[in-house]
Amino acid sequence: MSKKIWIKNPLTILAKNSDGGIVINGTKIVELVPKGATPTLLVDEVYDAKDSVVLPGLINTHHHFYQTLTRAYPTALNKELFPWLTSLYTVWEHLDSEMIYQSTKLALSELLLSGCTTASDHHYVFSDSTKDAIDIQMNVAKELGMRVVLTRGSMSLGKKDGGLPPQSVVQDEQIILEDSIRLIKKYHQKEEGAMTQLALAPCSPFSVSTDLMIESAKLAKEYDVCLHTHLAETIDEEEFCLKKFGMRTVDYLEHTNWLHNKTWLAHGIHFNDEEIQRLGAANVGICHCPTSNMMLASGICKTLELEKAGVVIGIGVDGSASNDGSNMIQEVRMAMYLQRLKYGSSKITHQKAYEWATKGSAQVLRREDIGEIAVGKEADIAMFKLDELRFSGSHDPLAALLLCGAQKAHRVMIAGNWKVKDGEILDLDIKKLQFEHTKQAQNLYIKANSI
């Protein structure tokens, strides 16, 4: 028998008609309790949330877990995207399975502690030592009880073919497609409340062939999974597409049968007005990655124009080598401030930023069961206390969480199960994880720099 839990009388909650809290039964939210009322259902457990800001679990729609091993990497500092990538590919080609395990575990733990309950990762670096990278990631997600939408990334154009990556991390396209089918069959759950899902994600127009883009689209349609890639992140990418394919990025998207509502794109910065209308008409999703875009000086996503046209906007931390962190609540703050710089404070409210990171991100992943605190939705909840010096003197709790710079959740629940209590992940030795992860980062550095 599942336990009914009443999260009672929160300090504030990002949901309507629920000032008295919410009731959870099994994996789902079953009742919203109005202010001053008590649940109509008989509950088994009560958690007093009077000191907590309660949010839907935050949803990260773009990441590269393995990059936690190359934060602040010396040869990659102070570079824009293409030279930054070129400097790091020669490091990432030395990844092995233990490095994938530790980097995934650390990235997911970091996300979880920041109030993230669903994470999407874009892994595209496959070598002889990392053929089972997605399997490792799935096992880690299961170990931590994290909800994930992992993408089978790919690179098929190496330097000798006019691409950026070294040949050591380029795969044969038939191998890529066959492994994609294997992973979909093994891990993709279609039912409501799915804990593991798969999407297909050729890395970018400058690292895969047109044939692979087209075949990936066919495969995604056949198995009813989503498509994901980087697009229009930099001007360099736009120029690459024009030179190599004779078309701009959105034209290329349409040419390869990707311009539809099962596609979501990372970054999506450099679109013109006509392209924005086409993306909106197709109901494409875009993951805004503010910190990464600032770090690499890529530009600012045109979120409001895109939304007005019909594009769905979500939030992602991006890789931890272009963000150097995996903190979702901080990323929501960054999204709010970067977008205010473009559109003004009155148009980009804290509520808008929360919406992008919850309901918006869920829509980007084509999930209707998460992203909101509402009856029938999955019980994915992030709770924050305002008990640090940074919050002293604040008045509006929901605004203070972003404006004063929250960094860590007090409690996190996924599918009705507590995963974080008192700011600590249950059943996880965080010090041991940090030690093992640091050791693998050092091993990677040694491998990449050995003569």
User: What is the distance between the terminal CA atoms of the chain, rounded to a whole angstrom?
Assistant: 60
Tokens of residue 137, six digits: 């990631």
Class (C level, CATH) for 58-364: alpha beta
Determine how β-strand 58-60 pairs with β-strand 116-123: parallel
Phi, psi of 391 (to 5 degrees): -100, -5
- Quote the CA–CA distance of 103 and 101 in Å, as a whole number: 6
Provide DSSP, 16-28: TT-TTEEEEETTE
Domain locations along the chain: 4-56+375-425, 58-364
- Residues in the chain predicted with pLDDT less than 50, given as ranges, are none
- Other beta carbons within 10 angstroms of residue 24's beta carbon come to 26
pLDDT score at 282 = 98
Q: Strand, coil or helix: what is 324?
A: coil
Given 3-state DSSP classes, what are the helix, strand and coil percentages for the chain, each rounded to the nearest 5? 40, 20, 40
H/E run at residue 381:
strand 381-385
Angle at CA of residue 347, ends 346 and 353, nearest 5°: 110
pLDDT score at 33 = 98
pLDDT score at 162 = 81
Contacts of 365 (CB under 8 A, 6+ apart): 59, 61, 118, 120, 149, 197, 226, 264, 285, 314
Nearest to 98 by CA among 120, 128, 71, 130: 130
pLDDT score at 451 = 60
Would you identify the CATH topology of the domain 4-56+375-425? Answer: Urease, subunit C; domain 1 (2.30.40)
Residue with tokens 């919850």: 358
- Residue 125 CB-density burial (10 A; 0-12 exposed, 13-18 middle, 19+ buried): buried
- Other beta carbons within 10 angstroms of residue 172's beta carbon come to 9
State how far Cα 252 lies from the chain centre.
24
Find out whether 189 and 197 touch, Cβ atoms under 8 Å: yes
Find out whether 425 and 145 touch, Cβ atoms under 8 Å: no
Q: Which residue type sits at 96?
A: D
Q: Which residue type sits at 177?
A: L
Distances from the Cα of 405 to the Cαs of 39, 126, 193, 314, in angstroms?
A: 33, 37, 31, 20
pLDDT score at 166 = 86
- Other beta carbons within 10 angstroms of residue 414's beta carbon come to 25
pLDDT score at 269 = 98
Q: What is the pLDDT of residues 157-203, one digit of tens each?
A: 988 888 788 898 999 999 999 999 999 999 999 999 999 999 999 99
- Quote the CA–CA distance of 32 and 21 in Å, as a whole number: 6
pLDDT score at 163 = 79
